[in-house]
Structure 1
Amino acid sequence: MREIEHEELTYVRAKGALTGLALGDALGMPTQSMSAADIQHYYGGHIHGFVRAVAEQPIAPNMKAGAVTDDTEQAFVLANRLIADGGTLDNHAYAQDLLAWESAMKAKGSLDLLGPSTRLALHALADGVDIEHTGTTGTTNGGAMRAAPIGIAFSPDAPDHLLARMARESCLVTHNTVQGIQATTLVAAAVSFGISGSERPLEDAISYVSQLPESGHWSAKASVLARVRRFFDWANTGAGSSMEASEFAQTLRRECGTSVEANESVAAAFAFAARFRRDPNEALYQCASVGGDTDTIGAMCGAMLGAQYGDEVFRPDLVRQLVRQLKEDNHLDLDVTVAGLVHIRLRTLHTRDPRHSGDPRS
């Protein structure tokens, strides 16, 4: 009986992670790559629900309210590859999946395509560059934005550092840098600890990654882990924890940054999740309203909080609209995908795969 209850709770939290990812993405869609001043001008300021993108939206002009972006779609690309590969990851097939996705987006006339790091890496792979070297400049958040399926599929209690290994594996093609791997592992770990029932999943994720050896190619850019720790502490127990929401967002824009760089956007997502963890809906409204890479910050924040609380923590009307549009417009089935990822998680908790060694760098 307890095992059945545990599996049901795992499913609810896993569904919360993917729901939160897509919800944060859809809320941030109309404001992505816009300044706070432009958000004020075009949308009247704070975002409180799904909004149609204005014609002046630089990436998704006139996109309908509740639509998701590449964050959600690429997360599902990774999820489906993990499910198809039975809990492993064929990176060559994954690369082809991403290229096929972009081709489909171009055919629809979408401007919401692969990010700069991902595009450069996939083109290098197509030109014959070895997979260990295609992602050596990827310090942006492309790996972290699609990390939730890794956190769902692999428990922190799985043997042989499987969570860390698979987070790194998912970065090899496009974000094989210290920053890219740390960012992806942080988000995946926060999701995974949340699903496992941790009362402090964000703190546990930071601790988990802090104990891992650094992996990936060196970059001179700031450490993702150091900046996440700094702004998480500031938002959780420091000066940011008592600030009014508007002052909090202004300080985060000024001192952390909200760009596509992983050391800014992932730190911002952790800060919003910490500051508004008791009100996940408000957390996502704040992410959508801050300016910068709002859809990705919202997607990461939503995945982490959804994993902790389950899908029922989010506004039911928004969730119903979201799920309907995912099926009708994107041909994505949230329930089927979650079930496939949870199946991997439950199996790997009890199975020791001899292909996985104990060193997350190997």
Structure 2
Amino acid sequence: MTRPNTRLLHIELIAFVLVLLTFFMVSTCKKGHEIAPIKSVKVETLLTDSISIRAITVMGNNLGFAGNKGYYGLYDDNKNTVRTNIIKYDSLTPNFRAVASTSDDFLMLSIQSPALLYKTGDQGSMELVYQEADEKVFYDSMTFWNDEEGIAMGDPTDGCLSIIITRDGGKSWSKVPCEKLPPVVDGEAAFAASDTNIAVNGAHTWITTGGKKSRVFYSADKGKKWEVFDTPLIQGKETTGGYSIDFYNDQLGFIIGGDYTDVNSNSKNKAITTDGGRSWSLISDDKGPGYQSCVQFVPRSEGKQLVSVGKTGIWVSNDTGKNWNKLTDDSFYTLRFLNDSTAYVGGNNILAKLYFK
């Protein structure tokens, strides 16, 4: 009788198992994780006070925020507590519409002249790291590409957008000269409505403008070179255009806005791109929400789910903006996701946490 070669059988068994594992992994990758549609939201109030909160940033599980009247603070998720403070500059009380964070620091930027940018100092206090005085100064939004490199943008002061950049973690900031930026059109600016005028993905950066002209400024190299693209959004008045922009990856992006003096109009206030922002198309026109101040892709949704907030309530799309459902009439200015089922929001006199189902 011929004895079986046990070593050969062992090798063949391993090979068979590897084939099965490979097949399983490929099948799983093709299917992806199942994405359940968002049908409802629960609102948990974290803070009520006589302040306007339009700028929030997720810091781990916690939330940094800033508002008007020099007001800023931190929500501690572990302790479920909110710590707040007020900052003044000489006799001025700054109003903040932009915040950002790195692994180590919290930063906040005020809107009007003098623009004041504060960063967490070595002793934990807020230290002034940049200021700019000009009668036209009005900063709208700020974010970071990574822990060292960040960007903030504001309205034009001299024929181009105001863009300042840091390459050292926010310790110092430099304004991009107008000769390195596309010129703006007369009446083109931005809205400090939700601190979401800027979207970043990797080295890619997009800035949405509004007013008499609503376009998208784009940089592929973290703000070194810029180009600009038109949008079909409503424009022509100081109150019209794109208010908020978000990208799911380096190709799929979404803008929402409208006219805040006509909050129920849902014509030409939503646009989508699938080519990295070079071309934009209206979507869900004359349907879904009217004016909204913030839109964000839901994490891990494969770009299918979007949530917007604004005066017309909290709205959700489960099909990349084609159709929308109102979840609640609650009004908020800005939103940031903690994960695919939880988000933070800021609004008029309120800071809250959202739980989606």
| TM-score normalized by the length of structure 1 | 0.31
Q: Which has the higher strand share?
A: 2
Larger radius of gyration: 2
| TM-score normalized by the length of structure 2 | 0.31
Q: Which has the higher helix share?
A: 1
